[in-house]
Chains A and B, each alone.
Chain A
Amino acid sequence: QVQLQESGPGLVKPSETLSLTCTVSGGSISTYYWNWIRRPPGKGLEWIGYIYYSGSTNYNPSLKSRVTISVDTSKSQFSLKLNSVTAADTAVYFCARLTRAQPYYFDYWGQGTLVTVSS
């Protein structure tokens, strides 16, 4: 059974960089797309972007200028960096696996981690 687990600071100061890591266990990180998705309080789900195991990326244009997703296949981990954060970036952040071809869907998710942006 594939499992994903997010880790990282729960509190980030405005203008600083939010950094999260997702550890994949129970399955290979190869040949799938690995995603970050967030849910701000009281709002719906927003796709942030994905990285393929080979390192190619695809970001949501609304966040593209501030986002970097990277992968470390040797550790079965992928990471999110979001810079210049504001209170609007406060959200529960999920990592999720996307299937490798159409039909695409998110079949495994982490439990989510709350990140609050506040001084």
Chain B
Amino acid sequence: DIQMTQSPSSLSASVGDRITITCRSSQSISIYLNWYQQKPGKAPNLLIYAASSLQSGVPSRFSGSGSGTDFTLTISSLQPEDSATYYCQQSYSTPFTFGPGTKVDIK
């Protein structure tokens, strides 16, 4: 199985801050990396697919980059509604695997 790690596990930032979450895979997964946002009691919501493609309807302050084993999710200007847990997920091969999540709080 391909193992996914994320850092940090949690962060607290202010409205308007730029934040970056890192995701690393245990082997190369090309660009087959997706990012999801999950709020308490809700289903995960797709933000970014194929490492850098913004899902329709997702605000442009979200962006993704990377390839191979190292990927990042950036929120350019943090908003109150961005308080959530963020997961990366590899779709290079089955079993599909997710990172452990990064919890983002607003100060």
Q: Which residues of A contact B (CB under 8 A)?
A: 44-47, 58, 60-62, 94, 96, 102-107, 109-112
Q: Which residues of B contact A (CB under 8 A)?
A: 1, 31-32, 34, 36, 42-46, 49-50, 53, 55, 87, 89, 91, 94-101
Whether the pair A94, B43 counts as a contact (CB closer than 8 A) is yes
Main secondary structure of the interface of B (DSSP, over half): loop
Q: Which residues of B contact A46 (CB under 8 A)?
A: 98
Residue of B nearest to A102 (CB): B32
Q: Which residues of B contact A103 (CB under 8 A)?
A: 31-32, 34, 49-50, 53, 91
Whether the pair B97, A47 counts as a contact (CB closer than 8 A) is yes
Whether the pair A44, B43 counts as a contact (CB closer than 8 A) is no
Whether the pair B91, A105 counts as a contact (CB closer than 8 A) is yes
Whether the pair A47, B95 counts as a contact (CB closer than 8 A) is yes
